[in-house]
Amino acid sequence: MVKYILKRLGLAVIILLGVSLLIYMLTMAMPADYIDNQTAAAVQSGQMTPEDVLRLKELYGLADKSLPGILKGYALWFSNALQGDLGFSFLYGRPVTQVIKEYVWISFFISLIAYVIEIIIAIPMGIRAAVNQYSGYDYTVSVFSMMATALPSFFLAALLMNFFSINLGWFPLQGLTTATKIFHPSDTWGILLDKAWHLVLPIVTLTLLSIGGLMRYTRTNMLEVMNSDYIRTARAKGLPEKTVINKHAFRNTFIPLVTTLSGLLPGLFSGAMITETVFSIPGIGSMAMRATQQGDIPFVMGYNMYLAILTVIGYLISDLMYAVVDPRVQISK
């Protein structure tokens, strides 16, 4: 077991090295950066010259975008990253790690609730659709899942905002707090309830967008298991259908579902860029969106490397989970 874990950790390190270099090269290949965006008006008005902009870029290591220059910049960035320094954000005026730590928990809270609700709804729907294949229920939930999967997040968010916020006035339109309400610092429950009420529509949006994919994945794997020999044997023994479905079929269906856990970790901590931006939620996703639009190269690089680390950790956890849920998987000690 220890040998297997060490082997997977070594492979994860190699993957992260390759991914970090690729991300750095792609980030440096951005057509414009924060310095270009901020100095464009000054250059046009004659307050700055292109030479001044070039010297400013040299100061931050953004001037030389040739392959040797990129490799030299990557070596410097990598040495700093090993010490926990992902760079200094131009847009937010703070270290990248500090910005991520401050805004990631809002995104985590939203994503975690949406993910739990998604599991509670999607997996039972998929199981029931597989058990009642080609029934009215199966066709109904299949159409629903395809619609939910096809809807763009900004479109669904706009529909919910228009209906529940503008027309009915049930939920706040945007933001995380109510600007017209002033809470006393000691009124913790009032502050939490106000924020929770603002997060209802974003959570509903993320849940509706995710249910379809998980439901179809569960249904497909459940149908494969239902046609297996051991399911027919269990039925031939006279076991109740409920026992066959819940104890034998779903238990083996859960094994492929472990694969989806590999995307759970980065999904929880990365934030939902478009959804958070539409609802003006100050999460890490919307912060990354702004940084990308403004060409904040240090933040874009640090954020993507942060996601790469979470993704590799997620796959490592997924590999280890296979040994837990599937007794047929043998890990060499």
The alpha carbons of the chain give a radius of gyration, in whole angstroms, of 25
Topology of the domain covering 97-291: MetI-like fold (1.10.3720)
CB atoms within 10 A of CB 298: 24
Q: Which two tokens stand for residue 37?
A: 């965006």
Residue 136 has a pLDDT of 87
Sign of the dihedral through C-alpha 36, 290, 267, 147: negative
Q: Does residue 1 surpass a pLDDT of 80?
A: no
Residue 185 has a pLDDT of 72
Give 42's pLDDT tier (boundaries 50, 70, 90). confident
Rounded CA-CA distance 318/333 in Å is: 18
Residue 76 has a pLDDT of 86
Q: Output phi, psi for 269, to 5 deg.
A: -100, -10
pTM listed for this prediction:
0.79
Q: Does residue 183 surpass a pLDDT of 80?
A: no
Q: Would you give the distance in Å from CA 261 to the centre of its chain?
A: 12
Residue 323 has a pLDDT of 63
Helix 96-131, helix 297-325: angle, nearest 10: 40
In the chain, where are the structural domains located? 97-291
60 or 122, which is more confident:
122
Tens digit of pLDDT for each residue in 206-261?
Answer: 888 888 888 888 888 888 888 788 788 888 888 887 788 877 777 777 666 666 66
Q: Does residue 320 surpass a pLDDT of 80?
A: no
Q: Does residue 59 surpass a pLDDT of 50?
A: yes
Give 69's pLDDT tier (boundaries 50, 70, 90). confident
Rounded CA-CA distance 113/106 in Å is: 11
Burial of 189: CB neighbours in 10 Å, binned 0-12, 13-18, 19+: exposed
Please name the residue ranges forming H helices in the chain.
2-28, 34-45, 50-59, 67-81, 96-131, 136-150, 153-160, 188-198, 200-226, 229-236, 241-243, 250-257, 264-270, 273-278, 284-294, 297-325
Residue 333 has a pLDDT of 47
